[in-house]
Chain A
């Protein structure tokens, strides 16, 4: 367990933000941590959708239960947090 800084690029928001997470956090937890700083502040909530995490430039999302320590991120690497319909 260790604190790990990531940069959040949240769909619909206007700015990159620093988001501290833990190496044991899953991608769902990373998305939730990023959402704290965007949803309800400058981005409207979408209760019928979930949030997925991907590397900038990728089209594929990282598995929802993948841990930060397994993703091979560099400290402060930018991840995109993207809205997705739950059954997509």
Chain B
């Protein structure tokens, strides 16, 4: 039997709205779940998805993608890539899987909300496929690391991380809860798919795939490229929704959602992807600096996506561009210095050669971040290891839940952005974090940061042991230097040479 061409029936088949008679429209699509923009069903029926795919087409393509990624994994399972990989690269995998795998699974629920509650039939179609994408991503990113669990306990955090109160996971959950777990269908399409996925998953998945291939980890490179092809499809769910909102005079509401989600995504990537690209990935395998990636994928491409859509650049764009030079260096120094509290082993990434690269990519690195590292390196060389660990908590931001930081050394500019709200003093890492909070204070005000929890006596005993217990970090899972400080030998040798020259 001859089949009709897809485009001869697709538009008719997706016309699935009807006029409810047994219940009201609000009962069928409760505004808090569907998106209360006061627009009737008819306004949403013009939603035209740019990427049209039918269910049989989807299944066929996904089957091929799965076959590709799983067969590469099977072929390379005995290649001992994991055993022979640079420890910095293993840390990349551990950080990635822990932060991402279960979040993907959670995203399936956000896609399902669009699938059921969006008033736009086309969006319901696309997010049906998007929901299945996210289930696939969750399953793959749990299955792939599983073969390494028996070799390295930290790999178990691929599954475990999301259920813990580890500080980086509190930050990740706070962000994803805000943009996808507790928003209506239309807001999810704007905040998760347009702002986060269009803008940022390209960074994590394309950038990291390039680094993985360079590092010889073809299993990981194939896995995340396979995922990215799904992302680039379902990331387009938000665009047509934005067009409808703008056409119906709702630009301000749409813009605010983009601005909040984009900022949160930036902060999360500054702690997750920034250190990976500029410090953990072995120097010889780095394709571009984190800032260069950001400039290519976010500044150039996302900027265009925003303006093409008829939106403005976020009001904080200049602050964002400035932060590209600095924030992730602080996030790296912070997660490295507080390394017992992460589930991977951070690579310091500060050998003389690596510092020369950092200075080239970020002029002024040595007189700022380098000054802090100089003190750290002296302690390692001198054997003052107790001084290389913290004895208190960094103060974290009540919006992004990440340390409040700035540039150290000769250009010291660290600043708190406080806010008194209903008798409680909140602290923020930037003017933008504080602005996000102020857009809907009651939404965020009740949340307790890791520092608030410590001060409330929820972490006992009130020391590192208590903190590790609270974060569910078991013995053998605590982070420490990825290379066991072997990199410091260069500095020890340099010091001996200097001593000999002065003798």
List A residues at the B interface (Cβ < 8 Å). Answer: 5, 7, 9, 11-20, 36-37, 40-44, 56, 74-78
Contact = CB atoms under 8 A, between A and B. Distances in A.
Given A12-B412, A14-B414, 9 more contacts: A12-B409, A14-B406, A16-B404, A17-B393, A40-B379, A42-B333, A42-B337, A75-B425, A76-B427
B194 to A, nearest CB: 32
A41 B390 CA distance: 8
Nearest to B408: A14
A40 B375 contact: yes
Contacts of A40: 375, 379, 384, 387
A39 to B, nearest CB: 9
B376 A14 contact: no
A41 B391 CA distance: 10
B253 interface: no
Contact of A18 (B333, B384, B451): B451
Nearest to B376: A42
Contacts of A16: 394-395, 403-405, 414, 416, 427
A15 B330 contact: yes
Given A9-B414, A12-B408, A78-B418, A17 B388 contact: no
B454 A43 contact: no
Contacts of B455: 5, 18, 75-76
Interface stretch (B76-84, B305-313, B366-374, B436-444): B366-374
Contacts of B404: 15-16
A14 B407 contact: yes
A7 B427 contact: yes
22 contacts: A5-B455, A7-B395, A12-B408, A14-B330, A14-B333, A14-B414, A16-B394, A16-B414, A17-B394, A19-B392, A37-B390, A40-B375, A40-B387, A41-B376, A41-B379, A41-B388, A42-B376, A42-B408, A43-B372, A44-B374, A77-B425, A78-B427
Instruction: Give the 10 A-B residue pairs with the shortest CB-CB distance, closest first.
Output: A14-B408, A16-B395, A42-B372, A78-B416, A16-B404, A15-B405, A18-B393, A15-B394, A7-B395, A15-B403
A19 B374 CA distance: 24
B334 interface: yes
Nearest to A19: B392
B427 A41 contact: no
Residue in A16, A18, A37, A78 whose Cβ sees the most chain B Cβ within 10 Å: A16
Interface string B403-431: 11111110010111010000001010000
Nearest to A5: B455
Nearest to B368: A14
